[in-house]
Amino acid sequence: MNKRVVLPLVVFAILIAFLAIGLTRDPREVPSPLINKPAPAFDLELLAQPGQHLSLQDMRGKVWLLNVWASWCVACREEHPLLLEFSREALVPLIGLDYKDQRAEAVAWLSRFGNPYAAAIMDVSGSTGIDYGVYGVPETFLIDKEGVIRYKRIGPLTREALRNEVLPLLKKLDG
Amino acid sequence: MAEPTPSVEALDARVRDIASRLRCLVCQNQTIADSHADLALDLRAQIREQLERGATEKDIERYMVARYGEFILYNPPLHASTSLLWFGPALLVAGGLAGLGFAIRRRARLAQSGAPIAHDPDDSLADS
């Protein structure tokens, strides 16, 4: 074949390859710089017990999930049944971070839809959320025994993500 | 409320200036200065607070990048993973110019050899 035909075809194929890779990626998903970094410290009031606090230190030695959620967050309802299911299996503690929310509304939300959390803490100002780079509630973090963030999911947790990403990592870290 | 003093205005201007170089992650095509999203408000407050504490622009940039990644910077730093972004356009221009140069020289050569350009067998797809 003539190189006049081959060259444009090669250029076209390269272009197609780039576009095809582009299509498989979500531009809204920002890779977190926090993966494999120590989880930012926090010391926040418990939703259910005003006056009592839970801090990052309290979770040392455990593999656990931090789920950022809020009663005003519509997408949180989407992942909620999955969280309830997960909490029934009680593999690791699931801690809820109630992001920029009102206590009464959050409590009402949990009693209406069910409470999957071993404990829920309140980030009223949203400053812990900023430390964790939260920008799209819900978000889920997997934190290991040394307090290092090993996984982060932005947006609702899906069954596939739970089965293919979270559970294998949990087994590995908790083994 | 006290009358805004020049230093307050200066602080406002610095907050705006820094915020205008940061991407709002909730509404990705706006800057933190332009956005009315809740997170953008919080981050502007955070910038102001840090400036009041005496932080430099570099400090604030580092603070944001540590949490949200380099994606938050509208002006991406130059390193290996961003080199294609920085040099890609120049490479494309160079490639185009080289191709153009080859084509012009070829045509000049063909014209000199006396062959009519329109009948260049290599120019026609049907001949391949």
Q: B15 exposed, middle or buried (CB, 10 Å; 0-12, 13-18, 19+)?
A: buried
**B8–chain A nearest CA distance, Å:** 24
**A68–chain B nearest CA distance, Å:** 14
d(CA A29, CA B25): 10
d(CA B123, CA B111): 14
Q: Give the residue extent of every domain in chain A.
A: 28-174
Chain B hits for A72, Cβ within 8 Å: none
Give the pLDDT score at B78: 84
Cβ–Cβ contacts within 10 Å for residue B62, how many? Answer: 12
Count of A–B CB contacts within 8 Å?
Answer: 46
Closest-CA residue in chain A for B62? Answer: A33
Closest-CA residue in chain A for B29? Answer: A28
d(CA A39, CA B114): 75
What residues in chain A have per-residue pLDDT under 50?
A: none
| Residue A43: alpha-carbon gap to chain centroid | 19
pLDDT band for position B45 (cuts 50, 70, 90): very high
Give the pLDDT score at B6: 59
Name the pTM for this structure. Answer: 0.77
d(CA A133, CA A32): 8
Judge: A33–B65 Cβ closer than 8 Å, yes or no: yes
Q: At A43, which helix (H) or strand (E)?
A: strand A43-45
- Tell whether the model's pLDDT for residue B126 goes beyond 90: no
d(CA A145, CA B2): 50
pLDDT band for position B17 (cuts 50, 70, 90): very high
| Residue A86: alpha-carbon gap to chain centroid | 14
Tell me the percentage of chain B whose pLDDT exceeds 90: 46
What's the mean pLDDT in B4-14? 80
B50, B68, B92, B127, best to mutate vs chain A, most A CBs in 10 Å:
B68
d(CA A19, CA A58): 47
Using only C-alpha atoms, what is the Rg of chain A?
Answer: 20
Judge: B67–A132 Cβ closer than 8 Å, yes or no: yes
Q: Does B69 touch chain A (CB under 8 A)?
A: yes
Task: Tell me the H-state helices in A32-114.
Answer: 74-89, 103-113
Q: Does A88 touch chain B (CB under 8 A)?
A: no
Q: Give the SS3 label for residue A151.
A: strand
User: Domain A28-174's class?
Assistant: alpha beta
Residue of B26, B66, B125 lying closest to A135 (CB–CB): B26
Q: What Cα–Cα distance (Å) separates residue A113 from each residue in A78, A88, B35, B81? A: 11, 15, 33, 44
d(CA A16, CA A10): 10
pLDDT band for position B128 (cuts 50, 70, 90): very low
**B34–chain A nearest CA distance, Å:** 17
Give the pLDDT score at B79: 82
What are the pLDDT digits (tens) for B78-125? 887 788 888 999 999 999 999 999 999 999 998 887 655 555 555 555
Judge: B69–A28 Cβ closer than 8 Å, yes or no: no
Rounded to two decimals, the ipTM of the complex is 0.75
pLDDT, averaged across chain B: 83
Please indicate whether residue B58 or residue B114 has the higher confidence score (pLDDT): B58
A124, A130, A139, best to mutate vs chain B, most B CBs in 10 Å:
A130
Please indicate whether residue A123 or residue B8 has the higher confidence score (pLDDT): A123
